Chain A
Amino acid sequence: MHGDLGEILPLWSTIPFVGMLLSIAFFPLFAPRFWHNHFGKVTAFWALAVLTPFLIVYKGLALYEFLHIVLADYVPFLILLSALYTVSGNILLRGTLVGTPVVNTGIMIIGTILASWMGTTGAAMLLIRPFLRANSHRKNRTFMVVFFIFLVANVGGSLTPLGDPPLFLGFLRGVPFFWTFQLLPQMIVVAVALLVLYFIMDTYYYRKEDIPAPSESPEKEALRIDGLHNLIFLAGIVGAVLMSGIMHWGEMSILGVHRSTADVVRDGILIFMALLSWMTTRKEIREDNEFTWFPIQEVAILFIGIFLTMMPCLKILQAGEKGELAFLIRTVNEPFHYFWITGILSSFLDNAPTYLTFLSSLLGKFYPGVEAKEAVALLIQEHSIYLKAISAGAVFFGANTYIGNAPNFMVRSIAEETGTPMPSFFGYMIKYSIPILVPVFALITLVFYW
């Protein structure tokens, strides 16, 4: 009933979305202080720029669409992210780790595996401080943090909807929980290539730096994990998300928006798990983890802007060749087109909205006018390679820049705070992501999408 909206919306209705994404891309780069202090106002500006005219022109219909995107996408997205962030923030790895190439590679492997189960943000936040502490005696640490961003903050999150926000948005649209495991071969190729390269580089620098043997280091403290009981709550989160994909308890109406009862129950369980984690974990653990709500508050503010401004763009794409973005849908045809276009845009725009945009474009291309969940089921049955392409593109390419995925900037901030020099925005790309990641993604294209 609302599908028609995408057919009549003009292309300029996507300007607030483009403005929002460009603000995220350029303000941190060129006016970081202004952005740090006023990003909320910038977000409000773009949100109002789309809300006001839409509500005036389309009234009830626009209100419904905005409410729908907030209640069905934004709220569950934020609840999942907050729950994973809270639970992982209550787990603390203590003890002396000495940053040798083997130990560092081990941390990277653990982080890459954990990322799909506690989210890239959760895994990155859990391991970045111990990783930096372990390497505080090393001279060349920058490349280590960069590889940490590649693997733990991005590539590792490709296997489940918990791993990376775009995959969760796909899950909310009907992609089965375990379907993303089909990305395992691609993930292994990327992870192994990066880990081997990392190990070679770390070994080279380790030898060059002439680091004293670990036994010479004073005051070794045994490794231990505090707040380990939080794994129960992590399992609760995994179980709740799984449950919502399996159970069908009908629908309920919230402010006129129909939502699956199982989804609402899932969100309730996620909040409950986060609360339990918070209440059962000593405050000192969070303090020693330097836990702060600030990054989640930032994500909450920015993403309400992203989700609201995204609505016209999604509607146009869902309209397929009847919409104003028909040229894009006609141009992008092959799976590798989708892999690269989703990937390149995910590098510079946040990967979650980019994924949703191209998922919508696929649905518009193959199943215009078909209800989203039904269309997703058909897409998986008939053209699953396209879904793999946009899923892998959104997750993997998020590592290409600092702005590709939320944990990238959190890791960068923590590294810089603790004295590890990090490259500039373009330095990161020129020195690391273009020479390292792009060839790996080319290999993925040849092996899986050609």
Chain B
Amino acid sequence: MAIKKILFPTKFRELSFNSLAQLFALKDAGLKEIILSHVISREDVGFVPFGGYLKEEEDRLREEATIRFEDWQKSLEEKGLKSKVVIKVGEPVPQILHTAEDEEADLIVVGRKKRTLNHPFAGSRTIEIVTRSKVPVLVSKYLVSYEVEGENLEKINERIFERPMLVCDWSEPSMRALKLMKSFQSVIEEAIVFHDINVEKIHEKYEDSLHELKKVSIEKLDMVCDELKEEGAGCETHLGAGKILNEIIRISRDRRATMIVMGTSGKGRLSEFIHGSVSHSIVRESELPTLLVP
């Protein structure tokens, strides 16, 4: 599991290139190529009421995207990275997922690059891609405005691979997330490994079990940390106790994490509706870029 090829879909919104530039760091971890992709919404060019298809408009939008991408491709070339441009017409989510499959991308980078207050950090399309993608998805959040205890803060997420925080629940996806994180170990300065024990859910009569659980969890966290330290990166462990969403956000802020890495269970919409999804909640509510591994 290594990130050699990244799919970077974009709508050319403000700060998109800054977000792309964050990925250049992965070259030292084996990144070879970035697929630059743009989906022209069918609604922008097709089904003119009682008319037809705006072919000239499609050509214009393609040309615009090509020119913008050419500029980006120069920067990629300067960094020694290969690039390819894919421009399609259609519905964005399926087109992005198909492109990832066709191009055999190892990672999809999505998400609005600028988020202001009163908006979740990820929109419905991002969540849909996260839910349906068969490959890891990085929800990029370059410039974010958020609120902490009534205070409005603004932050630029730079050097996102320096202090990633791995959220472990020992499930297969979270172990795959560990594996992915190891693949870019060379660009990590210090990793943070986190596990949460939801004390509220454990009844008093299981108090002995709680101590045992805590002990086992710490041991497991240390083992994960040891794996990450093998390549020379630093690592620290943290055990949370409480509602997992709050704990992830609290620890990530306290420990100045630059990114949250976690596995996703790939729950369907119905399951997510009933049980909720921690990974999706983190995507929506944490101000940090979130790397989700299916």
Contacts and interface: CB of A to CB of B under 8 A. Distances in A.
A366 interface: no
Interface in A391-423: 402-403, 406, 409-410, 412-414, 416-417, 422
A186 to B, nearest CB: 26
A28 B48 contact: yes
Main secondary structure of the interface of A (DSSP, over half): helix
A409 B42 contact: no
A36 B52 contact: no
Nearest to B55: A416
B50 interface: yes
B91 A32 contact: no
A302 interface: yes
A412 B52 contact: yes
Contact of B90 (A290, A402, A422): A290
B47 A409 contact: yes
Interface string B46-70: 1111111111010000000000000
Nearest to B56: A33
B89 interface: yes
Interface string B90-116: 110010000000000000000000000
Nearest to A350: B50
A254 B57 CA distance: 44
A36 B91 contact: no
B43 interface: yes
Interface string A276-314: 000000000001001010110011001000000000000
Contacts of B47: 292, 294-295, 298, 409-410, 413
B53 A292 contact: no
A211 to B, nearest CB: 26
Contacts, number: 76
Nearest to A409: B50
A287 B39 CA distance: 15
Contact of A416 (B50, B53, B90): B53
Nearest to A25: B50
Contacts of B43: 292, 294
A402 B51 contact: yes
Of the listed residues B48, B54, B89, the one surrounded by the most CB atoms of chain A closer than 10 A to its CB is B48
B95 to A, nearest CB: 9
Main secondary structure of the interface of B (DSSP, over half): loop
Contacts of A290: 42, 90-91
Contacts of A36: 48-49, 51, 54
Given A290-B90, A412-B53, A32 B46 contact: no
A298 B49 contact: yes
Given A290-B91, A294-B42, A413 B53 contact: yes
Contacts of A409: 47-52
Contacts of A417: 42, 45-46, 53, 89
A32 B48 contact: yes
Given A287-B91, A287-B94, A417-B89, A28 B55 contact: no
A302 B130 CA distance: 36
Contact of B52 (A298, A302, A422): A422
A338 interface: no
A447 B50 CA distance: 32
A386 interface: no
Contacts of A350: 50
Contacts of B50: 24-25, 28, 302, 350, 402-403, 406, 409
A431 to B, nearest CB: 16
Nearest to B89: A417
A35 interface: yes
Contacts of B46: 294, 413-414, 417
A102 interface: no
A414 B48 CA distance: 11
A39 interface: yes
A416 B94 contact: no
A103 interface: no
Given A36-B54, A292-B42, A413 B48 contact: yes
B91 A292 contact: yes
A413 B47 CA distance: 6
A61 B205 CA distance: 74
B94 to A, nearest CB: 4
Contacts of B49: 24, 28, 35-36, 39, 298-299, 302, 409
Given A35-B49, A36-B48, A417-B53, 5 more contacts: A24-B49, A287-B94, A402-B51, A409-B51, A417-B45
Interface of B: 42-43, 45-55, 57, 89-91, 94
17 contacts: A28-B48, A28-B50, A28-B52, A32-B52, A35-B48, A35-B49, A287-B91, A290-B90, A290-B91, A292-B42, A294-B42, A294-B43, A302-B50, A403-B50, A413-B46, A414-B46, A417-B46
Interface of A: 24-25, 27-29, 32-33, 35-36, 39, 287, 290, 292, 294-295, 298-299, 302, 350, 402-403, 406, 409-410, 412-414, 416-417, 422
State the 3 A-B residue pairs at the shortest beta-carbon distance, nearest first: A28-B51, A416-B53, A412-B52
